[in-house]
Each structure stands twice: as C-alpha cells, then as structure tokens.
Amino acid sequence: MTHSALSTDALRVIVTEIAEELAESDDRGRVASYIPQLACIDPQQFALSVVTPDGDVINAGDADTPFSIQSVSKVFTLAVALGQMGESLWSRVGREPSGDPFNSIVQLEHEQGIPRNPFINAGAIAVTDAVLSGYEPREAIGLIVEFIRYTAGDDTIMIDETVARSEEATGYRNTALANFMRDFGNLTCDPAMTLGVYYHQCAVAMTARQLALAGRFLAYDGCLAPGGSRVISGRMARQINALMLTCGHYDGSGEFAFRVGLPGKSGVGGAILAVAPGRASIGCWSPGLNAVGNSQLASRALEMLADRTGWSVFAPH
Ligand code: GLU
C-alpha cells in the first residue's frame, strides 16, 4: 500500500484511531527502574505526534506531557559531533549493530575500546566526549540543548536536573564503560566530566510534539522542512537515518526494522523518534518497555502507523 499524497485529514484519522485502539491495551510493558527517577512514571501514558512536510503537527494522547528523552538524545549529540568534526568522528566509533545489550562491556574489550556504534552507551559516551573536547562541560551541554531547541523551534526545552542527578548517582556501569575507553585512549576528557555531559543530554525533557519537531531535519535530508533552513548536510542526515534503522533499538533493532521499516531511535524513558524520509517526523512515547528496552506501545503504534500510511522505507515511493 502506498499513499503518495496522504492528506492531513486522512493522517489525522489514522493517528487518532491508533491512539484509540492502543488506549485499550492491557500489556504496556514495564517502566525502566534502574534510573530511580524513571521508576515512578505512570505507565498508562501514551502520545503520538506526527509532523508533515507542510509543518502540520498531528497529535494524539498526551502529546504535551514532557518525558525524559534518554537515549533518543544520542541522535542529536551525534548530529552535533558530525557537524563539529565530520568524518573523523568515525575513527572513534563504529557503524555496526552490536547484537549485545546497550550497556555491554564485553564487546568493548574485544574491540579495543572502539564501540560498535554511536547508539549503544559506550558509543554515545565516546561521541559526547568528542563534543566536549575543547569546551567546559556546561558549554558542551549548552551546545547540545541549543541544537535540540533549534531543531524543535522551541526555546522552552530544558534539562530535568533531578533525572540527571539520579542517574549520576547510580551510573556505575556507564562509569565502567567510560573508564575502560579512557584506558584504551578513546576518551580524551576526564571520564567524570564526559559522563556528566552524557547524563545531562539523556535528561533533556521533551514532549512528543517537541520530539517530532526536533526530528524534522532527519526527515527532510538535513533541513527543517523541504527546501527549508539547513541544519546538517543531506549526506549526514542519511547516514544518521541508516544508523537509526540498523542500530536504533538496542537488541530489537532488526525486529523494529522488520515490523516498522522506518529509521528510529528509542530511549529507556519510553520515547521513540522515527523518521519517514520526505514524509514525516514522528515522536511517540509510552513509558512501559518490552523485554529489550523499547517502548511496548510506541513500537506497536509505529508499526500500525507504517502499515496504515505505507511509509516503510522499503515500500516503493
Ligand atoms: N541514560 C541512560 C543510560 O545511560 C540511557 C539509556 C537508554 O535510554 O538507552 O543508561
């Protein structure tokens, strides 16, 4: 099924129906509990927000409720790092799916401190370290938040300090990953400083609407709209989308590509940013996670959306 010219009204019907159908779900997965501040989020919440090339924003559910973007931030920090240093970033991080949990340390030892991809924790920490080089932590956090605000067109986006501190106090495994990479020479800054920046980027709070708006540059080949202001090169946007498709959902990346067929990045706060190139940027959120750490309802909602719109990147367009 392809809908080359799906009207905004038709899309609104699809989005509304998905939210209504999912509102009846009993099986919502389990909220992440390893970050204490996330353990107390109500799993009944759900939001779906879709931004079209014309700039229409179609919302369903709790689209204006902020959540912790967590690993979805890795997409934005990667864009900042690529903008700063271009291709040389790839000497520090690979571009292959890991097949291991997002916080695995085993692979890092086998591969001499070069993480498999920028979306597992080790890879994201290396990318954050690259952004931090030459800056104070506060400045690096500012660069990342400013980038997110610019792409979302929304200056009100903030960091939830309580979440950042909650993770900083308990992030023993990330500390291990960072120290390990420092020992291999793949971190250039003080690991504690790099982790401080990393926890703050993960603690950015956004709504589904803001997330969908912030993803536009990936949907429109590096621009905020078709023919609009350029954020990064088209080539970089395509590369980030390729990584989202292959590595964006932890150990469930193959399953997400199979079921949904869209580049996407999920986070343990229950958010997924997905991109239908040329057609839409999508923010989806529901806090309950499945066994591999992806939002149960957001994954399902995106599968339904891709089915009903024909937006899979594998469908003829
Ligand atoms: N801040 C989280 C961590 O480092 C991010 C995890 C995630 O969303 O995948 O564990």
pLDDT category, 4, cuts 50, 70, 90?
low
74 is catalytic: yes
pLDDT at 51 over 60: yes
User: What is the CA(178)–ligand 1 centre distance, in A?
Assistant: 14
Judging by beta carbons within 10 Å of its beta carbon (0-12, 13-18, 19+), is residue 54 exposed, middle or buried? Answer: exposed
Taking CA atoms, 34 is separated from 38, 151, 268, in Å, by 8, 30, 10
**Which pLDDT belongs to residue 5?**
73
Residue nearest to atom 4 of ligand 1 (CA): 121
User: What is the CA(117)–ligand 1 centre distance, in A?
Assistant: 14
Which ligand 1 atom is the nearest neighbour of the CA of 34?
10
Domain boundaries, the chain: 3-67+206-309, 71-202
172 is catalytic: no
Question: For strand 204-206 and strand 47-51, is the pairing parallel, antiparallel, or unpaired?
Answer: unpaired
Summarize the confidence of residues 69-77 as an average pLDDT: 98
Residue 60 phi/psi, 5-degree rounding, is -145, 150
* Catalytic, out of 49, 71, 98, 166: 71
User: What is the CA(83)–ligand 1 centre distance, in A?
Assistant: 23
**Which pLDDT belongs to residue 102?**
65
pLDDT category, 2, cuts 50, 70, 90?
very low
Q: Quote the CA–CA distance of 189 and 286 in Å, as a whole number.
A: 35
Taking CA atoms, 115 is separated from 126, 184, 269, 277, 310, in Å, by 8, 11, 23, 27, 34
Summarize the confidence of residues 139-161 as an average pLDDT: 98
**Which pLDDT belongs to residue 258?**
98
Q: Quote the CA–CA distance of 273 and 295 in Å, as a whole number.
A: 11
User: What is the CA(97)–ligand 1 centre distance, in A?
Assistant: 17
Q: In this structure, what DSSP letter does residue 263 have?
A: -
The lowest-confidence range among 34-43, 110-119, 155-164, 274-283 is 34-43
pLDDT at 273 over 60: yes
268 is catalytic: yes
pLDDT at 80 over 60: yes
**Which pLDDT belongs to residue 277?**
98
Report the CATH architecture of 71-202.
Answer: 3-Layer(aba) Sandwich (3.40)
Which ligand 1 atom is the nearest neighbour of the CA of 202?
1
The closest alpha carbon to 70, from 102, 111, 100, 28, belongs to: 102
Q: Quote the CA–CA distance of 201 and 316 in Å, as a whole number.
A: 36
Which ligand 1 atom is the nearest neighbour of the CA of 269?
8
The whole model's pTM is what? 0.96
Summarize the confidence of residues 166-193 as an average pLDDT: 95
229 is catalytic: no
User: What is the CA(32)–ligand 1 centre distance, in A?
Assistant: 10
71 is catalytic: yes
Q: Quote the CA–CA distance of 75 and 265 in Å, as a whole number.
A: 7
Summarize the confidence of residues 42-57 as an average pLDDT: 96
Ligand 1 cavity residues, CB under 6 Å:
70-71, 102-103, 121, 167, 174, 202, 267-268
Q: Quote the CA–CA distance of 30 and 270 in Å, as a whole number.
A: 10
Q: Quote the CA–CA distance of 259 and 256 in Å, as a whole number.
A: 5
* Catalytic, out of 268, 295, 299, 313: 268
The lowest-confidence range among 95-109, 128-142, 204-218 is 95-109
- Mutate which of 34, 70, 144 for ligand 1 pocket (most atoms within 8 A of beta carbon): 70
The lowest-confidence range among 27-31, 74-78, 225-229 is 27-31
Residue 173 phi/psi, 5-degree rounding, is -70, -40
Cβ–Cβ < 8 Å for 130, 85: yes
Summarize the confidence of residues 206-215 as an average pLDDT: 98
pLDDT at 1 over 50: no
Summarize the confidence of residues 150-164 as an average pLDDT: 97
Residue 226 CB neighbour total at 10 angstroms: 12
- How far the first Cα of the chain sits from its last, in Å, is 10
- CA 244 from chain centre, in angstroms, equals 8
Taking CA atoms, 19 is separated from 29, 60, 199, in Å, by 17, 6, 31
Q: Quote the CA–CA distance of 31 and 220 in Å, as a whole number.
A: 32
Residue 269 CB neighbour total at 10 angstroms: 30
Question: How high is the mean pLDDT of the chain?
Answer: 95
Cβ–Cβ < 8 Å for 287, 227: no
3-67+206-309 — its CATH code? 3.40.710.10
Q: Token digits for 39?
A: 């353990």
**Which pLDDT belongs to residue 99?**
79
Q: What is the pLDDT of residues 85-106, one digit of tens each?
A: 999 999 999 999 987 766 778 8
**Which pLDDT belongs to residue 271?**
98
